[in-house]
Amino acid sequence: MRVFVTGGTGFIGSAVVADLLAAGHEVLGLARSAASARALDAAGATPHLGSLEDVESLRTAAARTDGVVHTAFDTADLARFVEAGRVERTALEALGDVLAGSGRPLVVTAGFAFLTPGSVATEEYTSTDPASPVGRAAEPLARSMAESGVCTSVVRLPCVHGTGDRFTVPRYIDVARRTGVSAYVGDGLNRWSAVHHTDAARVYRLALEKAVPGARYHAVAEEGVPFKEVARTIGRRLGLPVVSTPPEEADAHFGIDSYFAQADIPASSALTRERLGWEPTGPTLLADLDRDGYYAA
């Protein structure tokens, strides 16, 4: 297939590009700068100049390809999350306009934030409660697009780790360095589900190749890793004390990263494994966190 990938220079998108190319697909990658175009070219993809804000660039690329994988998102500044979500919505709507009725697949990235804390999330779960959205708007939007004739499927991502990670775990390494302790909240038994980025990339490719409208997949290798174990590994690697922070002090300690430090969001991938024949093979979160690469200055 000829596949248009957004975010192909990012941590997850670059693994998706590599996996697609290795499986024999051709990749057209969205590039919003000359540096990104060079990176895509070096990876073996064809750069397509444009951005999520430039919806005409998205329409043109979607019209020239057999399917789309969307991983781009402005993750650089969490304070701009709402604006980034708005940009993503408009971009997805533009892609959906081009793909509607064609049967050509659009695979969309979603997450587990705010997903039924305390219970193991399955692929069957969808939130209908507007007060507990399933991550940001991408997932509900993909669902409604599937109902109106776009072949969308959703890949829900947990904590994704691996070489080039700059989104989740590195933030907690930064907090530990800044505060001089590696902290967890309360008993620290709240769980994170996790996956290595190369395993996640395979879920995107299989979802694209399968092209089942309205499907939801969990790129989850580990159902629930206690946050205390994450904090312990970070503390050991940095030579810092590992301490419990009372819940009422978590916001002051972790700042904007307080939500995920306390989040209990275990997730299963039993249905994804069955439906896609997917089996993760990459390192576990704790093994990966023991790599020097995570602690380079």
Interface contacts to ligand NAP, rule CB under 6 A: 7, 9-13, 30, 32-33, 36, 51-53, 71-75, 87, 109, 111, 157, 159-160, 166-168
Give the nearer residue to ligand NAP in terms of CB position, either 51 or 244. 51
Give the nearer residue to ligand NAP in terms of CB position, either 10 or 280. 10
Greatest distance between any 2 Cα atoms in the chain: 57
β-bridge pairing 222-226 and 191-196: antiparallel
Beta strands (DSSP E) in 24-116 are 26-31, 46-49, 67-70, 105-111
Q: Which has the closest alpha carbon to 216: 199, 203, 197?
A: 203
Give the nearer residue to ligand NAP in terms of CB position, either 6 or 182. 6
Taking the complex as a whole, the smallest distance from the CB of residue 96 to ligand NAP amounts, in Å, to 17
Residue nearest to ligand NAP (CB): 10
DSSP state of 121: B
H-run or E-run covering 218: strand 215-218
Structure tokens at 152: 């969308």
Taking the complex as a whole, the smallest distance from the CB of residue 171 to ligand NAP amounts, in Å, to 10
Taking the complex as a whole, the smallest distance from the CB of residue 62 to ligand NAP amounts, in Å, to 14
Taking the complex as a whole, the smallest distance from the CB of residue 232 to ligand NAP amounts, in Å, to 20
- Tell me the torsion sign for CA atoms 196, 294, 111, 227: positive
Taking the complex as a whole, the smallest distance from the CB of residue 81 to ligand NAP amounts, in Å, to 9
Give the nearer residue to ligand NAP in terms of CB position, either 103 or 287. 287
Give the nearer residue to ligand NAP in terms of CB position, either 87 or 181. 87
Identify the three-state secondary structure at position 70. Answer: strand
